Amino acid sequence: MSDSQTRPEILRIAIAQGNPTVGDVTGNLAKAREAWAEARTQGADLLLLTELFISGYPPEDLVLKPSFLKACLAAVEQLAADTASGGPGIIVGFPRQGEKGRHNSVAVIDGGRILALRDKIDLPNYGEFDEKRVFSEGEMPGPVNFRGVRLGVPICEEIWNDLGICETLAESGAEILLVPNGSPYYRGKVDVRHQVVLRQVIETGLPIIFANQLGGQDELVFDGASFGFNNDKTLAFQMSQFEPGMTVTTWRRGDDGWRCDPGLMSQLPDQEEADYRACMLGFRDYVNKNGFKSVVLGLSGGIDSAICAALAVDALGEERVRTVMLPYRYTSEESFSDAAACAKALGCHYDIVPIFEPVDGFSAALAEMFEGTEEGVTEENLQSRTRGTILMAISNKFGSMVVTTGNKSEMSVGYATLYGDMNGGFNPIKDLYKMQVYALSKWRNNHVPPGGLGPSGEVIPHNILAKAPSAELRPNQTDQDSLPPYPVLDDILECLVEKEMSVEDILARGHDIATVHRIEHLLYLAEYKRRQSAPGVKITQKNFGRDRRYPITNRFRDR
């Protein structure tokens, strides 16, 4: 074999950010084959797929089933057989049963066989990650000789921490680091990833390719945005965020190592667009991957249901979205007109189902038991629970998933009714505070998100944005009757939830001590409600669900 064959001067690497579905081994194999065929057409030498692509990520306790692991291994072996006819090699993630346990693994495939297996060492066990529960640690890796180029293949978390894995690969002769990832979205995450990779570029002196998964999986959204850095810390290429795709990068060997020819440089969205598109993608994939044909939601004339309706139409199309106004005696004419205007602007189906008779029926049934008591929250909640029952009946009759519409501010302090407005299968704004809901609504009125199926123009009427928010469960009610102004509430909640700040530190920001103590108490008190809430898209660094696991029974208060 000549030197030119053993030491190539050019390596063309295709990076695919695909959208696998957890558990759909056959479907994920088909997507891998489709990506490989495209990479072959474009003249690539190697295709880099993402972490656990064959199983979907995160597979959680599915990897405890031996039959599932066997199916994943069989798919990788089929993929390897495909390469016997030539074309690019493949780096693909899958879970496997090894001699020392189950592993989060990567296979390097070429020429009809598996050249090497690489088992993840650094298993994340924080926030949304729980890998130590189901996987065993691998052993310290060495580079893989791929067609004369020594490739290092650290897996996701192994570039995020200072365990020396990347340095070990560099010291043992790796020339390029190719990193398959399953890195979920949160606000500002792309900048965080860039800094993580740059730190490893500086430490190792090697170029790094970061390939990231795309798509929604339960509460998580994987946003793609794959990229690479040259060893001189310059950005080699940047793929799009929230969109599937492939790019073929051309790497050339020089005196200072490998360098990428100028590649794709996608413009990344700003904060409001990114958050909106994350909610839309997570919502779309939850509905479609779980086989729902349509969705239904209560459209009250308020901001939360309006943005959820807009997200539903953008994600699924107007023909798959049914909205329902459920008026009672406290519903204002303003709410009627605002809800109708919103549905008309979005082009979705709109029904009116009054709840007078069922609410009065419940009241009559309970009249003897409640005799001598004062009306209050119980009677207000009857309205919400009646609405929830009707929406669930529509869901049962037509097979439409109910969309629940509570924002993070409300979910934090329990300003929501169990088995009422909390009914539903999924909540696209569960991790957005109220002021973020307003910001994204204003953004949507001026933009149609890429890939969005909804109309342009003002889809959330101006009056919905301008009026005081209200649950309309009693005369002249507004949210601020029971809660601090939302800018104040949201800041206190962000301090308590995302930042885990002490009450003393929150007071230093200028907040009133009684208000802070009250909000902290409500936050802890509402834990039992959140445990029974629908899943929703993760947007912040700490969402209610995977990230924040507080006890329901909890007497601690920071005094």
**Model confidence over 73-101: pLDDT tens digits?**
999 999 999 999 899 999 999 999 988 89
pLDDT recorded at residue 132: 76
Give the long-range contacts of residues 110-118, CB within 8 A, separation 24 or more.
Answer: 110/83, 110/146, 110/147, 111/83, 111/84, 112/80, 112/81, 112/83, 112/84, 112/85, 113/80, 113/84, 114/76, 114/77, 114/80, 115/89, 115/144, 115/145, 115/146, 116/144, 118/144, 118/153, 118/155
Closest CA to 309 of 255, 352, 337, 349: 349
Is residue 135 domain-resident?
A: yes
Question: Looking at the predicted structure, is the pLDDT value of residue 468 above 80?
Answer: no
Question: Looking at the predicted structure, is the pLDDT value of residue 5 above 60?
Answer: no
Q: Which domain holds residue 290?
A: 272-475
Q: What backbone phi and psi angles, to 5 degrees, belong to 129?
A: -95, 145
How far apart CA 237 and CA 224 sit, in angstroms, is 13
Domain boundary among 233, 261, 289: 261
Do 226 and 283 belong together in one domain? no
Instruction: Report the relative pairing of strands 227-229 and 235-238 from DSSP bridges.
Output: antiparallel
Q: What backbone phi and psi angles, to 5 degrees, belong to 53?
A: -60, -40
Q: What is the DSSP string of 394-449?
A: HHHHH-PEEBP---HHHHHHT-S-TTTTT-SSBBTTTT--HHHHHHHHHHHHH-PP
Cβ–Cβ < 8 Å for 118, 105: yes
Is residue 208 domain-resident?
A: yes
Do 319 and 411 belong together in one domain? yes
- Which residues 6+ apart lie within 8 Å of 33 measured at CB? 79, 82
Do 447 and 321 belong together in one domain? yes
pLDDT band at 554 (very low <50, low <70, confident <90, very high): confident
pLDDT band at 475 (very low <50, low <70, confident <90, very high): low
Helices marked H in 447-555: 462-466, 486-497, 503-507, 513-525, 527-531
Closest CA to 381 of 405, 400, 355, 413: 355
In degrees, rounded to 5, the angle at the alpha carbon of residue 171 between the alpha carbons of residues 165 and 200 is 50
Is residue 535 domain-resident?
A: no
Do 438 and 302 belong together in one domain? yes
**Which residue did the predictor score with more confidence, 476 or 351?**
351
Domain boundary among 475, 502, 523: 475
Q: How far is CA 401 from the centre of its chain?
A: 19
pLDDT recorded at residue 3: 41
Do 254 and 357 belong together in one domain? no
Is residue 481 domain-resident?
A: no
In degrees, rounded to 5, the angle at the alpha carbon of residue 13 between the alpha carbons of residues 10 and 17 is 165
Is residue 492 domain-resident?
A: no
Do 350 and 470 belong together in one domain? yes
Report pLDDT digits (tens) over 13-52: 999 999 999 999 999 999 999 999 999 999 999 999 999 9
Do 70 and 93 belong together in one domain? yes
How far apart CA 211 and CA 14 sit, in angstroms, is 10
Burial class (CB in 10 A: 0-12, 13-18, 19+), 476: exposed
Question: Looking at the predicted structure, is the pLDDT value of residue 489 above 80?
Answer: yes
Report pLDDT digits (tens) over 517-549: 999 999 999 999 999 989 999 998 888 887 788
Report pLDDT digits (tens) over 298-343: 999 999 999 999 999 999 999 999 999 999 888 888 889 999 999 9
pLDDT recorded at residue 2: 41
Closest CA to 355 of 403, 391, 307, 323: 391
Closest CA to 276 of 316, 308, 244, 301: 308
Question: Looking at the predicted structure, is the pLDDT value of residue 479 above 70?
Answer: no
Do 77 and 175 belong together in one domain? yes
In degrees, rounded to 5, the angle at the alpha carbon of residue 19 between the alpha carbons of residues 18 and 23 is 125
Is residue 159 domain-resident?
A: yes
Question: Looking at the predicted structure, is the pLDDT value of residue 481 above 80?
Answer: no
Domain boundary among 475, 497, 521: 475
Report pLDDT digits (tens) over 160-205: 887 889 899 999 999 999 999 999 999 999 999 999 999 999 999 9
Q: Given phi > 0 = left and psi -120 to 50 = alpha, else beta, which region is 207? A: beta
In degrees, rounded to 5, the angle at the alpha carbon of residue 161 between the alpha carbons of residues 157 and 165 is 80
Instruction: Report the relative pairing of strands 245-254 and 10-17 from DSSP bridges.
Output: antiparallel
- Which residues 6+ apart lie within 8 Å of 138 measured at CB? 103, 105, 118, 119, 120, 121
In degrees, rounded to 5, the angle at the alpha carbon of residue 544 between the alpha carbons of residues 543 and 548 is 85
Instruction: Report the relative pairing of strands 101-110 and 89-98 from DSSP bridges.
Output: antiparallel
Do 177 and 301 belong together in one domain? no
The count of other CB atoms within 10 Å of the CB of residue 183 is 27
- Which residues 6+ apart lie within 8 Å of 300 measured at CB? 325, 326, 331, 335, 339, 472
Do 234 and 282 belong together in one domain? no
Do 399 and 354 belong together in one domain? yes
Instruction: Report the relative pairing of strands 176-181 and 208-212 from DSSP bridges.
Output: parallel
Is residue 381 domain-resident?
A: yes
Is residue 509 domain-resident?
A: no
How far apart CA 535 and CA 544 sit, in angstroms, is 9
Report pLDDT digits (tens) over 216-255: 999 999 999 999 999 999 999 999 999 999 999 999 999 8
**Which residue did the predictor score with more confidence, 293 or 136?**
293
**Which residue did the predictor score with more confidence, 471 or 118?**
118
Cβ–Cβ < 8 Å for 468, 338: no
Tell me, what CATH number does 349's domain have?
Answer: 3.40.50.620
**Number of domains forming the structure of the chain:** 2
Do 148 and 172 belong together in one domain? yes
Tell me, what CATH number does 177's domain have?
Answer: 3.60.110.10
**Which residue did the predictor score with more confidence, 498 or 276?**
276
Kindly list the catalytic residues. 51, 120, 156
Over its C-alpha atoms, the chain yields an Rg (Å, rounded) of 26
Report pLDDT digits (tens) over 390-445: 999 999 999 999 999 999 999 999 988 889 889 999 999 999 999 999 999 999 99
